[in-house]
Amino acid sequence: MEIITSVSAMTAWSNGRLRAGERIALVPTMGCLHQGHLSLVRKALELANVVVVSVFVNPLQFAPHEDLARYPRPFADDCQAVAAHGGSVVFAPEASAFYPAGFQTKVVVEGLTADLCGASRPGHFDGVTTVVAKLFHVVKPQLAVFGQKDFQQLAVLKAMVRDLNWDVELVSHAIVREPDGLAMSSRNRYLSADERQSALLLSQSLTLARQHVRQGARDCPSILARLREQISLDPLIEIDYLSIVDDTTLTPQAQVDHHSLLAMAIRVGTTRLIDNGYLFHKELSPCSATF
């Protein structure tokens, strides 16, 4: 496995692979890799000859009050994990090289970014689309693999690829969870023992919502009210949003149907966590679904 930090060297490497007729997969990450990330690497290896894992804590995704400075960066461990799982390259550019002096261009997707995480994190998705667009240009992948935990991100990137006629296949992978149901996240390491126990209310709320639907509930405001009542009993949790949305448009729904996705974001102490799931349990398969 190679570690590449230069933008020009990364593009040169990719050009060589493409001339050799190889298929390149990209797994974009901010590092601090866990089994959820590594499941994306394994999926990418099923679909391509070589896999590039970007490890880049993207400053454009963070607001001034967010956790950019303390975001965990165990780079040596990340490289070891990528190598152990068959990755070909870790691409880890410096922020000053990726966003050089005078950088003033952003890729913006409107509409889909207005609500959910977009409402509570203004500008976040502009940072996501811009960095992924740059990675597509530099790495030149034929496909890129993303986790479903960031469901809104997937929808936004799907729109970007469609609208800009990008010849890149987006593959999404189901959420990987801890044995107790907590969605794997690099930010889980911020949680104290008590906070981690409180964080389980995310997956428990998804289970409860599905139970209500199985029992015949269809009114979205009523289901959300029950979830809010349960979550509000825990003093460690502050709700950012709870919403039942259409899985394509991300617009709130009044009645549950087979496109209904429960999307959630909470703060547990100082840590912000997200989770989501279909209310009819129409999850992506453990392998993948392709946009």
pLDDT 10s per residue in the chain (291 long)? 999 999 999 999 999 999 999 999 999 999 999 999 999 999 999 999 999 999 999 999 998 888 898 899 999 999 999 999 999 999 999 999 999 999 999 999 999 999 999 999 999 999 999 999 999 999 999 999 999 999 999 999 999 999 999 999 999 999 999 999 999 999 999 999 999 999 999 999 999 999 999 999 999 999 999 999 999 999 999 999 999 999 999 999 999 999 999 999 999 999 999 999 999 965 433 333 333
**What's the predicted TM-score (pTM) here?**
0.93
Catalytic annotation present for 173: no
Predicted confidence at residue 282, as pLDDT, reads: 54
Predicted confidence at residue 288, as pLDDT, reads: 34
Contacts of 102 (CB under 8 A, 6+ apart): none
Q: One of 34, 37, 137, 259 is an active-site residue; which one?
A: 37
Instruction: Map out the domains of the chain with their CATH numbers.
Output: 2-173 (3.40.50.620), 186-282 (3.30.1300.10)
CB 49 within 8 A of CB 22: yes
